[in-house]
Amino acid sequence: MAMMQQPIVPRSTTTLQFENERVTIQHELGRGAFGVVYRVQDVATFNLYALKAIPCVNALALQEAVREAEMLREISHPNIISLRGTKQVLDAQGQLYMFLLTDYCPGGNLNQRLPRSSNDQVNLTWMKQMASAVAYLHSQNVVHRDLKPDNVLLTSTEDVKLGDFGLARGYIALTQIQVNGQNTEVRYYMRSEVGTKYYMAPEVFRSDGYSEKADVFSLGVLLYAILERDFIRIDGKAYYGAFVNTYMGKIGLGFALAIQIPFTDITFLGYLSTYGSLQMLIRQALNYDPHNRPSAEQVYENLAAIEESFNEECKNEECNNE
């Protein structure tokens, strides 16, 4: 997905009043396909927040921005960013912007963090927090559809906050249809090919539909990235994930599976005995067949058990906690 280069917030828009905060824009934090994110500061309390500026170039773009805001208002989880307020602004050129004021995460994102080492306990904590957030979303019938290291934000204490819900959607696993005059429950599938290609599940590349299990595959990519620190470099930037070396070069695992490259597999270099069960869990999450993947809740439960086992081992021997 191409990165957005324009527009940015106009120079005249430097101070914004929200429901409970009046903030001034300090500097740009980053850009994505749907908007620009700034660091802002409350003029009264000096608290820092993140401000996402979404250009609404047409009615559909405005509808999508409103949907993202409404979704964030309805969800609440310690490992998901919180929405503080929204505002629509029309600039002097007639460009409409939707502003979303959210938590600010000074630790940056996971993709920026992964080049540096982290101990085993931190890795497991990140994994658990991400799985907990995704399991919560699915329990609320929400799919994220763009899980990737850039969208995993870190607080000052390096706790996870899942962000960027621009592609998230409400989701009903089962829907009712009429068959021969009778109501019958059938599984509902999404069909839009959206997301970031290096992290997408193989079924998203196909036209036969996908479910919330596509999020589980992307979660598996995140777990693998934390454990193995595999990456590709594009235009000088490293993107961490799960990749396969092919005749086309290094490509994302999901795409490799979608085009059925023979002998597609991932390798592990983990050294702790605890990581044997973790590697198995990651392989399950990255299964080609979505029906054979665990749910996000099952991933979380397994990670909790792995962490408990790891902590027991640490009581009896020296662990990698530097």
Catalytically active residues, by annotation: 146
| Sign of the dihedral through C-alpha 75, 148, 88, 59 | negative
Amino acid occupying residue 118: S
Burial class (CB in 10 A: 0-12, 13-18, 19+), 256: buried
- Cβ contact 293:213 at 8 Å: yes
Tell me if 87 is assigned to a ligand binding site: no
- Cβ contact 100:83 at 8 Å: yes
Report the distance separating Cα 242 and Cα 122, nearest Å. 20
- Report how far apart the first and last C-alpha atoms of the chain are (Å, whole number): 37
CA-nearest of 174, 172, 142 to 68 is: 142
Phi, psi of 212 (to 5 degrees): -65, -15
- Cβ contact 13:7 at 8 Å: no
- Three-state SS for 126? helix
User: Cis omega before residue 106 (within 30°)?
Assistant: no
Annotated binding site: which residue ranges?
A: 52
Annotated binding site for ATP: which residue ranges?
A: 52
